Amino acid sequence: MFGIDTILALAYVLAGLTVVFGILAVESPRLMRATFYFGIFAVLLGEIYILLGVEFIGVIQILVYAGGVAILIVFSLMFLPRTEKAEEVPYAGHIRALIGIALVLIFVGSIGYVSSEIRGKVISMSDLSAVLLGGYSLVVVLVLVLLFVTMLTASYLAVEEG
Partner 1 sequence: MDIWGISEIYVFMVTGLVLIAIGFYGLITRRNIIKILISVELLYSAAVLETIVFFHYLYPAVLDALVFALVLIAAAAVDAGFGIVLAIRLMKIYGAPNIDVARKLRGE
Residues that bind partner 1 (CB under 8 A): 4-5, 7-8, 11-12, 15, 18-19, 22-23, 25-26, 31, 34-35, 38, 41-42, 45, 48-49, 52-54, 56-57, 60-61, 64-65, 68-69, 72-73, 75-77, 79-80, 120-121, 123, 127-128, 131-132, 136, 139, 143, 146-147, 150-151, 153-154, 157-158
Shortest gap between Cβ of 90 and partner 1 (angstroms)? Answer: 29
* Spatial separation of the C-alpha atoms in residues 23 and 130, rounded to whole Å: 37
Is the distance from CB of 38 to CB of 70 less than 8 angstroms? yes
Shortest gap between Cβ of 136 and partner 1 (angstroms)? Answer: 5
* Spatial separation of the C-alpha atoms in residues 160 and 162, rounded to whole Å: 7
CA distances to 42, 46, 48, 140, 153 from 119, in Å: 22, 17, 13, 30, 44
